[in-house]
Amino acid sequence: MTVLLDTWSTEKAEEDGMTDEHTWIWRQMIAATALPKGDFSRVLDIGCNQGGFLRMLYDQTPFAKGVGVDLAQDAVAMAEARKGDRPLSYIASTDLKDAGGGFDIAYSHEVIYLIRDLKDHARQVRDVLRPGATYHAVTCCHADSPLYAGWREKIGGFSKIPVPNHSITDISTAFLKEGFQVTASRFLANAAIPLEGPSDYFPSDAARLDTYATWKIMFHCTLPA
Instruction: Kindly list the residues in this chain that would bind ligand SAM in the complex (CB under 6 A).
Output: 2, 8, 18, 22, 47-49, 53, 69-72, 75, 94, 109-111, 114-115
Q: How far apart are CA 166 and CA 95, in angstroms?
A: 21
* Residue 8 or 180 with smaller CB distance to ligand SAM: 8
Q: Which is nearer to ligand SAM, 115 or 171 (CB)?
A: 115
Please report how close the Cβ of residue 225 comes to ligand SAM at its closest, in angstroms.
27
89 - beta bridge partners?
Answer: 67
The overall longest dimension of the chain from CA atoms, in Å, is: 46
**Are the CB atoms for 82 and 49 separated by under 8 Å?**
no
Whether 49 contacts 75, CB under 8 Å: yes
Nearer of residues 113 and 180 to ligand SAM, judged by Cβ: 113
Closest to ligand SAM by CB, 70 or 104 = 70
Q: Please, are residues 39 and 62 in contact by the beta-carbon 8 Å criterion?
A: yes
Question: Which residue's CB is nearer to ligand SAM, number 43 or number 48?
Answer: 48
∠ CA 151-156-162, rounded to 5°: 125
Closest distance between ligand SAM and the C-beta of residue 166, in Å? 13
Q: Which residue is nearest to ligand SAM (CB)?
A: 47
- Quote the strand ranges of the chain, DSSP E: 42-46, 65-70, 88-92, 103-109, 129-139, 181-185, 217-222
Residue 197 Cβ vs ligand SAM, minimum distance, rounded to whole Å: 22
Helix, strand, or coil here: 91? strand
CB of 38: closest distance to ligand SAM in angstroms?
25
Compute the residue count for the chain.
Answer: 225
Q: Please report how close the Cβ of residue 153 comes to ligand SAM at its closest, in angstroms.
A: 15
